Amino acid sequence: MTARTVRVLLVDDQESFRSAARLVIQMTEGFELVGEAATGEEATDLAASVAPDLVLMDINLPGIDGLEATRRIRRHLPVTRVIAISTYGASEYETRALEAGAVAFLPKSDFVPEELMRLWEGSGRD
């Protein structure tokens, strides 16, 4: 059986993090970056056009925040999985992200290929 490529949309308003995350995604076997957004509005528009398998969503974004963008994406693309990312630790942010429809929460400090793969595999997707 051939493994399917996971199509990833990266959403973060910090270019420095997007640059680092881009490298992590490229290093993660079976993952392909299909788009990047810096705001919640850009994320929802881009998700509608590229229909990613996975959205890596920063919680704190200008305009509509990552929680609301997650709700909108999940409402319109129910098979798309969202992993919330943040510089803030788990606790309250994790709970709020899961309530918004994210399948997992990943602190930015733990953003490495192995953790990305583990969370994807644990999200119930092929």
Let me know if residue 89 belongs to a domain.
Answer: yes
Q: Provide the residue range defining the domain that includes 62.
A: 24-121
Let me know if residue 19 belongs to a domain.
Answer: no
Is the per-residue pLDDT at 27 higher than 50?
Answer: yes
Let me know if residue 101 belongs to a domain.
Answer: yes
Whether residue 84 contacts residue 93, with contact meaning beta carbons closer than 8 Å, is answered with yes
What is this structure's pTM?
0.92
Is the per-residue pLDDT at 57 higher than 70?
Answer: yes
Going from the C-alpha of 73 to that of each of 47, 68, 120, the distances in angstroms are 7, 9, 17
Query: Crossing angle of helices 113-121/15-27, nearest 10°?
Result: 70
**Residue-level pLDDT at 110:** 86
For 68-114, the pLDDT digits (tens) are 999 999 999 999 999 999 887 666 788 889 999 999 998 888 888 88
**Residue-level pLDDT at 109:** 86
CATH number of the domain enclosing 77:
3.40.50.2300
Let me know if residue 40 belongs to a domain.
Answer: yes
Let me know if residue 16 belongs to a domain.
Answer: no
Q: How far does Cα 84 stand from its chain's mean position?
A: 6
Let me know if residue 8 belongs to a domain.
Answer: no
Going from the C-alpha of 39 to that of each of 21, 32, 44, 102, 125, the distances in angstroms are 16, 21, 9, 17, 26
Q: Give the chain's domain count.
A: 1
Query: Crossing angle of helices 66-76/92-100, nearest 10°?
Result: 30
**Residue-level pLDDT at 99:** 93
**Residue-level pLDDT at 20:** 93
